[in-house]
Amino acid sequence: MCNLYNVTTNQEALRAITKAFDRLGNLEPSLDIYPDQMAPIVRNIDGQRELARVRWGMPSSQQAIFQAATKRADKLRAKGKEVDFQELLKMEPDGGTTNIRNTSSKHWTRWTGVENRCVVPFTRFAEPDPARKVEGGRTPNAWFARDESEPLMFFAGLWVRDWQCVRKVKEGLVTCDLFAFLTTEPNSVVAPIHPKAMPVILRNEDEIEAWLTAPWSEAKALQRPLPDDKLILLPRQQVEQQATPAVQGSLL
């Protein structure tokens, strides 16, 4: 599961590749993006294509939220407290779903139309590397990119507008726009680190255009692993030194 990525580029490159109206404001030169943070995406909205900041994490399924609320209710009852389950369910925190795999499920099919598709710019993405984990410590990340210059690429994503939910207890009920990106089987570059999945990456402007405009019967074919020769595992030294990637507007 990809829960960290970086985007290091300029907005002119984003506009040129995606042909989108820019409503980002000033974009920081380099951003490490974590779940539930605001991040730049290019989305279809009101018949236009827009560059905007949207919160990472699509709504979780009703079943997942129900199960979480049930566990919370059981714990409260075990402590002798009365529970209004419907209110508890309404206020159950949903941190969001960052990666989408099963696009044929009823939960996701309502958002696979053109109006809910987006692309997510990135220059490299991370997966925890269990082979480098030190006993008692955290698992270091392995980072993947097109090549060592880390050119601009795009994940294929979905987004939803004006979703009412509780993301964090301290925030309470909020209404916000949300996004996530698709995953698929890993290629042989990612599989040794993360054998379950890799993000769906669009290879060129034609694939970006297809993802944002084609009927789902055509667009769903883009949910496939990236060819092995289009991705590398970044050298550990480059990652550890936090080298600044070159600002490029090229795709794969």
pLDDT in tens, 4-13: 999 998 888 8
Q: What is the pTM of this model?
A: 0.88
| Whole-number percent of the chain with pLDDT over 70 | 93
CATH topology of domain 5-59+94-240: hypothetical protein yedk fold (3.90.1680)
Q: List the one residue out of 165, 135, 225, 213 whose CA is nearest residue 189.
A: 225
* b/e map 190-220, b = 16+ CB within 10 Å: beebbeebbbbbbbeeebbebbbebeeeebb
Q: Mean pLDDT throughout 174-186?
A: 96
pLDDT at residue 247 is higher than 50: no
pLDDT, mean of residues 198-211:
96
> 3-state class of 230 per DSSP?
helix
What pLDDT score does 246 carry? 42
Does residue 243 surpass a pLDDT of 50? no
In angstroms, the CA 95 to CA 178 distance is 11
Coil, strand or helix: which one is 16? helix
Q: For residue 97, what is the DSSP state?
A: B
Position 242 confidence tier, pLDDT thresholds 50, 70, 90 = low
Nearest Cα to 125, choosing from 212, 224, 204, 231?
A: 231
At 62 the pLDDT is 77
Token digits for 171? 């925030």
Residues 189-195 have a mean pLDDT of 96
What is the mean pLDDT of the segment spanning 124-148? 87
138 pLDDT band (50/70/90 cuts)?
A: confident
On the CB side of 13, CA atoms within 13 Å amount to 19
* pLDDT attached to residue 240: 66
Q: pLDDT at position 135, please?
A: 63
Does position 206 have pLDDT exceeding 80, yes or no? Answer: yes
Cα distances (angstroms) measured from residue 176 to each of 46, 116, 167, 206 = 16, 14, 10, 30
| Spatial separation of the C-alpha atoms in residues 90 and 142, rounded to whole Å | 38
pLDDT value at residue 244: 42
67 DSSP 8-state letter: H
For 113, residues 6+ apart whose C-beta sits below 8 A from its C-beta are 216
